[in-house]
């Protein structure tokens, strides 16, 4: 079984986000970048499936500028056998990402595609569903547990009412949630080995994909600052404060 895992380069979750002065987006120059945490979970799950003898090859793929190879090196250090980089100087929107991944899936012919449920830079959470639709494959989203048996994947997912279990036939697209696993720590020897591995690079033109801008970002602004809170000592003071604010 071949598993394809997508990884995205994003601003590290520990970084305090700052906006560009013109309001056109988020500052990324000189900012620490890392692999999207949900994608790390997807990659960890693929590696665990391989360690259990349920997968034979893991292919990590990314879409982005040349610097995104850093995230592919990390994926190779974690345990992926191969890495494919679709080079593009601009950020791609979810539908365009799904189109590119569709072309890669048709090229690689994996049995399973594992993806993070969303990227922490835009929080769209759309690409896995769009990819499954374009491929006409079964999908299971927000997976907190994945079990493989033959050509069937049983996925436990968290919903508002509790837990839901779905059985999907392979090939399929599965997106991962936080509670699925905890990604392993990458060891230094593995990082050194990954630096020597070859990363295959492709262009969007080579994949034969036509991109379209479906979204037009007018401006990016910071949320309004919160007003300072007020501490009360008793329930009656709380009720009084809520009445003053018109909440009661």
The answer to whether the CB of 75 falls within 8 A of the CB of 43 is yes
Rounded average pLDDT over 48-71: 93
Percentage helix, strand, coil, to 5, in the chain?
30, 25, 40
| Sequence-ordered list of residues with C-beta below 8 angstroms from that of 13, at least 6 positions apart, any chain | 34, 37, 120
Contacts 24+ apart (CB under 8 A), 161-169: 166/140, 168/138, 168/139, 168/140, 169/138
Dihedral, 218, 222, 227, 231 alpha carbons, nearest 10? 130
The answer to whether the CB of 113 falls within 8 A of the CB of 105 is yes
Q: pTM surpassing 0.75?
A: yes
pLDDT of residue 104: 95
**Does 230 or 10 have the greater pLDDT score?**
10
Domains and CATH numbers, the chain: 2-244 (3.40.50.620)
Tell whether the model's pLDDT for residue 33 goes beyond 90: no
Share above pLDDT 70 across residues of the chain, in percent, rounded to a whole number: 100
The two tokens of residue 102 are: 């569709």
Rounded average pLDDT over 36-41: 95
pLDDT of residue 21: 81
Closest CA to 102 of 81, 72, 121, 129: 129
pLDDT of residue 210: 85
Tell whether the model's pLDDT for residue 214 goes beyond 80: no
pLDDT of residue 15: 84
pLDDT of residue 151: 93
Count Cβ atoms within 10 A of the Cβ of residue 134 and give its class: 0-12 exposed, 13-18 middle, 19 or more buried: middle
Choose the weakest-confidence range: 42-46, 97-101, 241-245. Answer: 241-245
Share above pLDDT 90 across residues of the chain, in percent, rounded to a whole number: 60
The total of other beta-carbon atoms located within 10 Å of residue 15's CB is 15
Choose the weakest-confidence range: 132-136, 163-167, 215-219. Answer: 215-219
pLDDT of residue 228: 81
For helices 69-78 and 37-51, give the axis angle rounded to 10 degrees: 30
The total of other beta-carbon atoms located within 10 Å of residue 213's CB is 11
């Amino acid at each position: 079984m071949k598993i394809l895992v997508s990884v995205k380069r994003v601003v590290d979750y520990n970084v305090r986000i700052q906006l560009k002065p013109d309001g056109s987006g988020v500052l990324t120059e000189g900012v620490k970048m890392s692999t999207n945490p949900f994608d790390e979970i997807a990659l960890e799950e693929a590696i665990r499936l391989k360690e259990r003898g349920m997968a034979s090859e893991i292919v990590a793929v990314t879409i982005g500028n040349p610097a995104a190879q850093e995230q592919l090196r990390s994926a190779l250090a974690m345990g992926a056998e191969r890495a494919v980089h679709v080079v593009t100087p601009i950020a791609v929107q979810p539908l365009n990402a799904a189109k590119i991944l569709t072309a890669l899936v048709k090229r690689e012919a994996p049995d399973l595609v594992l993806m993070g449920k969303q990227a922490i830079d835009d929080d769209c959470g759309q690409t896995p569903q769009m990819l499954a639709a374009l491929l006409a494959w079964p999908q299971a989203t927000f997976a907190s547990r994945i079990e493989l048996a033959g050509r069937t994947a049983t996925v436990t997912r968290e919903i508002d009412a509790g837990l839901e279990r779905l059985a999907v036939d392979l090939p399929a697209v599965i997106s991962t949630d936080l509670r699925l696993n905890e990604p392993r720590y990458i060891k230094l020897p593995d990082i050194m080995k990954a630096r020597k591995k070859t990363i295959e690079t492709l262009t969007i033109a080579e994949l034969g994909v036509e991109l379209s801008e479906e979204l037009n970002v007018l401006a990016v602004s910071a949320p309004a600052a919160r007003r300072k809170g007020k501490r009360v000592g008793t329930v009656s003071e709380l009720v009084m404060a809520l009445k003053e604010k018109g909440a009661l």
